[in-house]
Structure 1
């Protein structure tokens, strides 16, 4: 797989998991696995800066703002920390700090696994509680914060304004008690999930019943009182009645830091609350100012992420799951084992090559990694513990759902069902069509799709737009919710009819065609009919189109089933015209690379990015000699400095708008 394709694939995967983690509080992978994906993307973007875009997950905080709650702008941006994974990286961080400041001290803290909130106090009284959101804008959860007993509603020192940052969490004991009860139909598998979902409830009484707690770990603003060190602020916060992050330790050497990080790691499974790492911070606040920040993270702190916990168990059976593209994914059914309080009974085996390379057989004893709340991965088999009854496994030559032949990808490891009417594929295809990355039909999640398809209301994506005909019947049956929920869904479906064509093409789930490729198609063709009738010679000339992508598009639109589907969508009133194709014929930015930095007066970064791409330009996340223009707003930072050093032309929003006229 080439670098560009892998970068695009990683971005889509990470954005999906960002939404699951930040917006839905239902993560599907462990923090460690997420960190490895993010690290791979960052390394690739550093190696290939020409592929960096302003909307890359590496350039922003993950979460968005939940629509039902009031938006609140942060007084201090809520930033993330640089993750490190090895002893050597910790020592490198400490040595770098020592090279820039004299005799530094460090505070080592547990990294609590919960939901970050900012608490605001005016004249000693609690006035607001705000979630992290996207780092710039969060959402008010003030009414819910009032229900958390450990948060002081008034403090003895009446500062004009105080803001502190903490982590709202749920103890393991409370989680075990609550999870047995009704949790709004959600499958909260960890205390972190349930704490986050609870804090964002619209009914404060739910928060009161679920007994949330908080550890405060940072003082953000203290008008009228100055401090010299982080540890001093923690001591003062304790005197004000806050419960601060427990058992923090002041260290002076890398050896001392590593010993304490290791000590935390050894006892993390026995703690009464969840942690997902340890944080190492420079203690002196003036030293922090000297060390400064990069464009995204402070240089005075790092977060150490512990590797997954591992345990042995036995593979009882192996079965396959069918994905939306027909991919058969083997799944190991395990002898249940508890990892850090979570029962694990399944683990993905990825593909046949994975099974063969790790010599995995049914009946084997295997090592699995800590799951958290997901299906874990098998690390290795233990052949010396293999019973004589062990059986080798081969992915079936026929789909277990529709009995169609299975075929292996050319030059790939994946095996797919060749059937076009495979029910498992159809379900996952409809789920993807309705997802945020495609048609963004709010309320049409996986469980509702599966229910509607199992009941026969949806057979293909076009049937989504006929659900309104069954409104009364759906309300009566209650298979996807009550009247209000169904009406909200039907409204969201109607709204999606007006989406631009690139969202529809993305939703088709064409193999090798993602959001960027769909945007290229709609930028060069006026409507879906033109795309359907495009020739190979036309497609191969498009930006970033190669033989594989061109043939994927041709193959999809050549099928009779596709043409029937398009006819049904048109009759349902779904937009099939491109709103950007006319403007995209103007290629004034072709061959030009832009870097966007700082806050623009009127345009959001994604809006500026879209304009540049519509006119044939590219957007990168880092400044290099290949950069044509740096579009700079307020607080542009290091990218502006580098552009000046390299002699890159710097423009503001007004000049950018003039370039568009």
Structure 2
């Protein structure tokens, strides 16, 4: 096979950077990963290989050149005293051995003078840095992007094992006894498994959605706007690092951990000093064997050169220390029997096969189902109903089917095939030749209806707080909801009387033990008020909420700008729709199809009669001169101090058009931190790129970007 050309390598590198940025955002910013750590590391490894073969393709914004993570605009930004680096991963013992051998060679190790390593458990939590001045706690921040984090000082103050003042024994290990000195220590905020179980039980009893795993619970708890919520969540810490080792009067990592204990910090008790590769192996094997017996989640072992002097000699790459590596545990795998491949129908009619198997405990919790994604994936994994299958949790979080144990396959098993008719409504299933997706085309499909209801109330659509999946399920079961228009006929009395699915455990006024607990008037009033408020959402949000195939929030915004009423949009031809920037023929065909279905038009008429926005207000005279009229901007990446939506609104106030996609007609692309594929496309098309400083000058002066502005 021929080696890829430079152009092919460049295209693949750009695609990998976009994928890595997207999945890093899901993990760090949303605490909602879509892929496993192993799959993320595989993508990163492929990008590293390409850049190693073609150094000319390395760019500063590449994920290989920076620390993963994001800074939320919800909190004030904090600059770390020193950069918080990532740690490179070893996915196998062989990779770990190669790193140990390279490190020993770089440090001139001999049998008489071996390199010592400190091994520590890799805690699955949220990285945090805490600053102490004159021995007193003054500030805490998340890791963020490595250089800048989120200020979570008030929340960290509520964590019981974070000392408000360093103990005298620890202060004695700082210059001048800590007087006039500031020291930044680092570690992990986590939630114990037992605390996680209690929290989810409490949330379930209160009718609130439960957390997926302890890490998500810890991250969500630390990022609360109200510190009282954080205080109620029973968080804990393990501290293991310092921004500037020269601040502490010790010379090794093992000694440093002892110093942390003398200060009053919580330090993991399982750290060990190892003087050989065999000792490191033994530590990793013991940690893997004992992981499920711990009351907190770990996903590997961090191996560090023990000597601070040797650490300094090895230094850092652009994103990670050369003196440390994280040996990642392989996912725990169990065998079970696949009983059924059930097909789910999504909001837009796409059919997804889901494996249903005998319950089995994996990585500390019981799983009984896992998505198989699509028909191609079913064929690739070669699984059949009745098979004994191997399952694991990808990244110790997401249930996944590894594959079948072929030696245990029943003789009468048959390959799985997607149904010809929708399992929810019986309508024909459409599958275009060469496409992966199978889709139900019926607008009346009950399964799609449920998904559409959930999409309609989501934050980027109509943003109806309190109408989550559980509430929608109860309303549907009660016969009160069939489509999105039904939401606007709900009354306080109807919602208040809804059963919550729980029963009274003790006698209460007017209720006996075992009586169903209703939703209640207070909750119902809040929900109905939220529904009323949603009527005034702009047309773009309505269009996005309708769940039209291929219409995301940016396309909905473009359509509402070009056709500022439902009537105008309905009357537009496919050719007219396709002319809208960011739409094109595929999206235009989908929009036209949506407005050609009588059932959809009936729902829109009922929404309009209920008072939901069907047309945006005519634009008033602009408050600022429209100095950017005729210019089209595309925003990508994260901005400091403002969201992309806020920046887009400010540009529109000056007359600019803001698009969600880059084309030859784009005037400028604004590239923030972790900009992805849109930046790459702008560079390939020769579209001028602005950094945040240039954007801020444009917004301040109201003048188009000067030729020197592009980054």
Fold similarity call, TM over 0.5: yes
Q: 1:342 aligns with which of 365, 369, 376?
A: 365
Q: Does 1:536 align with 2:565?
A: no
- 1:349-391 per-position Cα deviation (integer Å, ceiling 9, x unaligned): 3333333443322211111122677662221112221234545
Instruction: State whether structure 2 residue 125 is matched by structure 1 residue 110.
Output: no
| Number of aligned residues | 624
| Residues 172-571 of structure 1: pairs in structure 2 closer than 5 A | 172=193, 184=206, 185-188=208-211, 190-196=213-219, 212-220=235-243, 233-248=256-271, 264-265=287-288, 267-279=290-302, 284=308, 294=318, 303-370=326-393, 376-388=399-411, 390=413, 392-467=415-490, 470-477=491-498, 479=500, 481-571=519-609
Once residues 158 and 298 of structure 2 are traced to their aligned partners in structure 1, the CA distance between those partners, rounded to angstroms, is 24
Equivalent residue for 1:640? none
2:4 corresponding residue in structure 1: none
CA contact (8 A) 2:156 2:162 kept: no
Separation in 1, partners of 2:46, 2:546: 26
Q: Would you say the 8 A contact 1:570–1:576 is kept in 2? A: no
Please say if residues 88 and 324 of structure 2, whose CA atoms lie closer than 8 Å, have aligned partners that are also in contact. Answer: no
* Counterpart contact for 2:351–2:437, Cα < 8 Å: yes
Counterpart check, 1:573 vs 2:639: no
Aligned with 2:704: secondary structure?
A: helix
Structure 1 residues 473 and 357 mapped into 2: Cα distance closer, same or farther (>3 Å)? Answer: closer
Distance 1:595 1:152, change over 3 A: closer
Match of 2:40 in 1: 35
Aligned-pair distance for 1:195? Answer: 4.7
The alpha carbon displacement at 1:339 in A equals: 1.2
C-alpha contact 1:594 1:628 (8 A) present in aligned 2: no
The separation in 2 between residues aligned to 1:123 and 1:132, in whole angstroms, is 23
- Which residue of structure 1 lines up, in the alignment, with residue 69 of structure 2? 61
Q: 1:121 to 1:475 in 2, by over 3 A?
A: farther
Question: Do the aligned partners of 2:499 and 2:519 also contact (CA within 8 Å) in 1?
Answer: yes
Distance 1:83 1:504 in 2: 45
Match of 2:690 among 602, 615, 631: 631
> Please, which moves more after superposition, 211-220 or 471-480?
471-480
Superposed displacement of residue 221, structure 1: 7.3
Out of 71, 77, 80, which is 1:76 matched to?
Answer: 80
Q: Does residue 1:654 correspond to 2:697, yes or no? A: yes
Secondary structure of 2:186 counterpart: strand
Quick check: 91-100 or 149-158, which moved more?
91-100
Q: 1:403, 1:336 → 2: CA distance?
A: 30
TM-score by length of structure 1 reads: 0.75
Question: Does the CA contact (< 8 Å) of 2:67 and 2:320 recur in 1?
Answer: no
- For residue 160 of structure 2, the aligned residue among 148, 167, 173 is 148
Structure 1 unaligned segments of length 5 or more: list them. Answer: 22-26, 635-650
Do 1:110 and 1:275's aligned partners in 2 also have CA atoms closer than 8 Å? yes
Alignment gaps of 5+ in structure 2 = 1-10, 110-114, 172-176, 501-517, 652-656, 660-665, 707-711
Give the TM-score, by structure 2 length.
Answer: 0.70
Alpha-carbon distance in structure 2 between the residues aligned to 1:476 and 1:8 = 48
Tell me the secondary structure at the aligned position of residue 74 of structure 1.
strand
Q: Is the 8 A contact 1:107 1:248 kept in 2?
A: yes
Higher relative contact order (CA 8 A, sep 6+): 1
**Larger gyration radius, structure 1 or structure 2:** 2
Contact 1:315 1:332 in 2 (8 A): yes
- Single out whichever of 223-232 and 473-482 deviates more from structure 2: 223-232
Q: Which residue of 2 aligns with 1:169?
A: 190
| CA 573–95 in structure 1, closer or farther in 2 if over 3 Å, else same | farther
3-state SS of 1:338 partner: strand
CA RMSD of aligned residues (A): 5.2
Q: Is the 8 A contact 1:199 1:207 kept in 2?
A: no
- Counterpart secondary structure, 1:504: helix
Q: Deviations over 1:609-654 (max 9, x none)?
A: 67474575434537776465453457xxxxxxxxxxxxxxxx4732
Instruction: Judge which range, 247-256 or 152-161, deviates more.
Output: 247-256
CA apart distance, 1:458: 2.7
Match of 2:669 in 1: 618
TM-superposed CA distance for 1:143, in Å, is 6.7
2:402 & 2:430 partners in 1: Cα distance? 27
Mapped partners of 2:637, 2:373: distance in 1: 38
Shift of 1:428: 0.8
Please report how far the alpha carbon of residue 326 of structure 1 lies from its aligned counterpart in structure 2 after TM superposition. 1.8
